[in-house]
Chains A and B, each alone.
Chain A
Amino acid sequence: DAKTTQPNSMESNEEEPVHLPCNHSTISGTDYIHWYRQLPSQGPEYVIHGLTSNVNNRMASLAIAEDRKSSTLILHRATLRDAAVYYCILRPQNQGGKLIFGQGTELSVKP
């Protein structure tokens, strides 16, 4: 499985934008880039996903590098409720949809 690399932790101030980076230099052409987040003692929650183009939804934006070897999850205005572990995951098209989680980035948000 292609591997992702994320910083262990990041800090942000409330109401400021947050850019969470992810490196995936061994990504293959058919791998989708997915982001999930997990609040303490809860199951993960879907955030966003993309293949080649940048994506926006109500939760976040996903910026994908032109060579697809890295991506950045952007939270436009962090709130205290955004404090969570954020996982960047590569999902191959031909493996039945399974997700292999890496270590993720623990985001803390300061008021």
Chain B
Amino acid sequence: GAVVSQHPSWVICKSGTSVKIECRSLDFQATTMFWYRQFPKQSLMLMATSNEGSKATYEQGVEKDKFLINHASLTLSTLTVTSAHPEDSSFYICSARDSPYSYNEQFFGPGTRLTVL
């Protein structure tokens, strides 16, 4: 099956700094990528949908100036958490689709655990 990678797998940063998380589709072109976050013992919450070459669409309640998403190529999307604070500590997961017309599976990355001190 198709593979999605994330880098880094975990990161610890100081409060007030910015952190960039990369999501790559390794063996397919991802027309659409999605970003989720997950707090301990909770379900995944969709943050935004990212289409290559266009601005991301954020879900209600997600601050677009705090969570910057860039989908500059068909194999790479990045999520930057700006001015991170301890409440941003979470498990961030991306997923990708290989076709805008596909109603089949999404391929998920392994996740990035962010800890803000």
Interface residues of A (CB under 8 A from B): 32, 34, 36, 38, 41-46, 49, 87, 91, 93, 96-104
5 tightest A-B CB contacts, nearest first: A43-B108, A46-B105, A101-B44, A101-B43, A44-B108
The interface on chain B, measured as residues whose beta carbon lies within 8 A of the other chain's beta carbons, has a size of 29
Q: Which residues of A contact B102 (CB under 8 A)?
A: 97
Contact B46 A41 (CB under 8 A): no
Given contacts A98-B34, A101-B44, A103-B43, contact A91 B93 (CB under 8 A): no
Contact B110 A43 (CB under 8 A): yes
Q: Which residues of B contact A36 (CB under 8 A)?
A: 108
Q: Which of A46, A87, A99 contacts B46 (CB 8 A)?
A: A99
Contact A93 B45 (CB under 8 A): no
CA distance A99 to B93 in the complex (A): 13
Contact A97 B108 (CB under 8 A): no
Interface of B is mostly: strand
Interface residues of B (CB under 8 A from A): 1, 4, 6, 32, 34, 36, 43-46, 49, 51, 57, 91, 93, 95, 97, 100, 102-111, 113
Contact A98 B108 (CB under 8 A): no
Contact A96 B111 (CB under 8 A): no
CA distance A12 to B54 in the complex (A): 46
The 14 sampled A-B contact pairs (Cβ below 8 Å) are A38-B44, A41-B113, A43-B108, A46-B106, A87-B43, A96-B49, A96-B57, A96-B100, A97-B102, A97-B106, A98-B34, A99-B106, A101-B44, A101-B46
20 further A-B contacts with Cβ under 8 Å, apart from A44-B93, A97-B102, are A34-B105, A41-B111, A42-B111, A43-B108, A44-B44, A45-B108, A46-B107, A87-B43, A93-B103, A96-B32, A96-B51, A96-B57, A96-B100, A97-B100, A98-B49, A99-B46, A100-B46, A101-B43, A101-B45, A104-B43
